[in-house]
Amino acid sequence: MTDRARVNLWRVAILVALLGGWEWLTGIKAISRTPGLYWIDPFFISRPSAIARRFVYLASGEVRLSLWQMALSTVQSTLWGFVVGVSTGFVAGLVLGRNDRLARVLEPYIIAFNSLPRIALVPLVTMIFGFGLLAKVVLAWTIVFFIVFFNTFQGARAVDADLIHSARFLGAGERQIMRTVIVPSALAWTFAALTPSISFALIGVVVGELLGGESGGGLGYLITQSLGTLNAADMMVALVSLGAIGIVMALGIKQVERRLLRWRPEYRTERA
């Protein structure tokens, strides 16, 4: 058996054990044939079989707002927040990373804003942008921006001075140095921030959705709705969907990273 097959086998085995254990434990009654008394009550954590049934139901066309529409709304806001956050954070990181004085001037403001708990911004963002897509994107942005910014900033500062010198001796102007030395050099640092950025974009969006109600839509709305009806199964459907979205997005980033950083030794051997 190859190593990869063995790893996959273990992964599946853990999944089966988890789901099986969950299903089994939530099925044992404390007092036989008395309804409602369980050792582990499925009322709170539901059961895989019940979650699967709700999943099928919510994904079907029978509900007004299907699971797909909610997931799409969450994914859309997350991607927007991610793209806007990464691009602005990257540019800001490059600019401040190569401009020492400006970086020193802005340092206290950046630290102050970054230390704000983002959730504290939610009411303000809601006041300004309402409950829709824009508010969610803004919330995701406030987190992603700083993660990408700090990494790119470090990366732009860590550029080897001898690489810049050698570019200069080869005839490079300032813009050419930026394009051919600083950007590719900093990119490796920026990429390290992208996988956490996706998770944090998702956090920002879901926080927006939790408070946004129906006009916010998305899986966060499914969660608050389920809380209203004390429906653990629906909540689990939302959580599993969020996890799946997170995995797919992280894998997508890994692919882009592998392509753009293929010059790095650690990506060479993985091609096969």
Write out the residues near another protein by the rule CB under 8 A: 160, 162-163, 165-173, 176, 180-181, 184-185, 187, 261-265, 268
- Residue 69 CB: number of other CB atoms within 10 A? 13
Residue 109 or 169 having the CB closest to another protein: 169
* Shortest distance (Å) from residue 173 CB to another protein: 7
- Residue 43 CB: number of other CB atoms within 10 A? 13
Q: Give dist(CA 145, CA 81) in Å, integer.
A: 9
* Shortest distance (Å) from residue 167 CB to another protein: 7
Residue 120 or 272 having the CB closest to another protein: 272
* Shortest distance (Å) from residue 266 CB to another protein: 9
* Shortest distance (Å) from residue 186 CB to another protein: 11
242 vs 46, 91, 176, CA distance in Å?
17, 29, 42
Residue 13 or 158 having the CB closest to another protein: 158
Residue 36 or 265 having the CB closest to another protein: 265
* Shortest distance (Å) from residue 195 CB to another protein: 20
Residue 97 or 218 having the CB closest to another protein: 97
3-state secondary structure 162-228: HHHHHHHHCCCCHHHHHHHHHHHHHHHHHHHHHHHHHHHHHHHHHHHHHHHHHHHCHHHHHHHHHHH
Report the phi/psi class of residue 60: left, alpha or beta, with left for phi > 0 and alpha for psi in -120 to 50: beta
